[in-house]
Amino acid sequence: MSNMNTAMIEKYRNNFLKEVEANVEEGEWVKMCMQCGVCSGSCPLGPYWDHPPQEIFMMIRAGKREEVLSSSSMWMCTSCYNCIARCPRGLPITHIMHGLAHYADRLGLAPKEQPTRKFAKHFWDNLTKKGRVNELKLGLKLYFMNGFGEGIKTAMKMKDVGLGMWKSKRLSIGELWGGHSIKDTKGLHAILNKAREIEEAKAKKFEG
């Protein structure tokens, strides 16, 4: 269990709602949910959520900390914004789901093998390295994210897609060596480090 997780359990003993309000992006909205279920009915991947959004909101209020944060549910969000557009109470549900997923991951509670979690983390590392996405490296990382054997199988299965993209000049093998980049990567990294530092300092304050 991560130190941060232990600290948070200690600090917010029996009040998971408060913990979410203080630490999760847009978390202060959770208490506004009136349990109508429009969000769950509007979600394109609705049937695959262990706990659809309105259930997650009630579980937060009921203090089901472990169940919520270790759930694969939030990682089912496709960012289609249907729930936001339809919520009668105006909750920014998409952002709350992203926020919960991020918080669970920071605490080390998110399910390790969840494919969207793994892919999304590769995506972040990929784009922050040079400031722009390297699509080829991202694709290869995706195929091989469950080991080498599995990767070869996936790559074989996907070769028609890759070939189609390559033939239509929408994929370049050259991306393997260098690839697209911004000029001021140093500046970008300094910005991102500072932003992370500010955010961590705020979390520390809650721990304190």
Residues lying near other proteins in the complex (CB under 8 A) are found at: 25, 44-45, 48, 76, 78-82, 84-86, 94, 98-99, 101-102, 105-106, 115-121, 123-125, 127-128, 131-133, 135, 139, 142, 160-161, 164-165, 167-172, 174-175, 180, 182-184, 186-188, 190-196, 198-199
41 vs 187, beta carbon nearer other proteins: 187
- The letter for the amino acid at 64 is K
CB of 97 to other proteins, least distance (A): 9
CB of 59 to other proteins, least distance (A): 20
CB of 147 to other proteins, least distance (A): 16
Extract the tokens encoding 199: 């955010």
CB of 39 to other proteins, least distance (A): 13
Q: Which residues 6+ apart lie within 8 Å of 98 measured at CB?
A: 25, 74, 77, 79
52 vs 99, beta carbon nearer other proteins: 99
Identify the CA nearest to 73 among candidates 111, 39, 42: 111
Q: Which residues 6+ apart lie within 8 Å of 56 measured at CB?
A: 68, 71, 73, 74, 97, 100
61 vs 132, beta carbon nearer other proteins: 132
CB of 14 to other proteins, least distance (A): 26
13 vs 180, beta carbon nearer other proteins: 180
63 vs 188, beta carbon nearer other proteins: 188
Residue 18 parent element (H or E): helix 16-23
The CA distance from 62 to 73, in Å, is: 17
Residue with tokens 């992203």: 98
Yes or no: say if 53 and 59 are a contact pair by the CB < 8 Å rule: no
CB of 43 to other proteins, least distance (A): 9
59 vs 133, beta carbon nearer other proteins: 133
**Within 13 Å, how many C-alpha atoms sit on residue 141's CB side?**
19
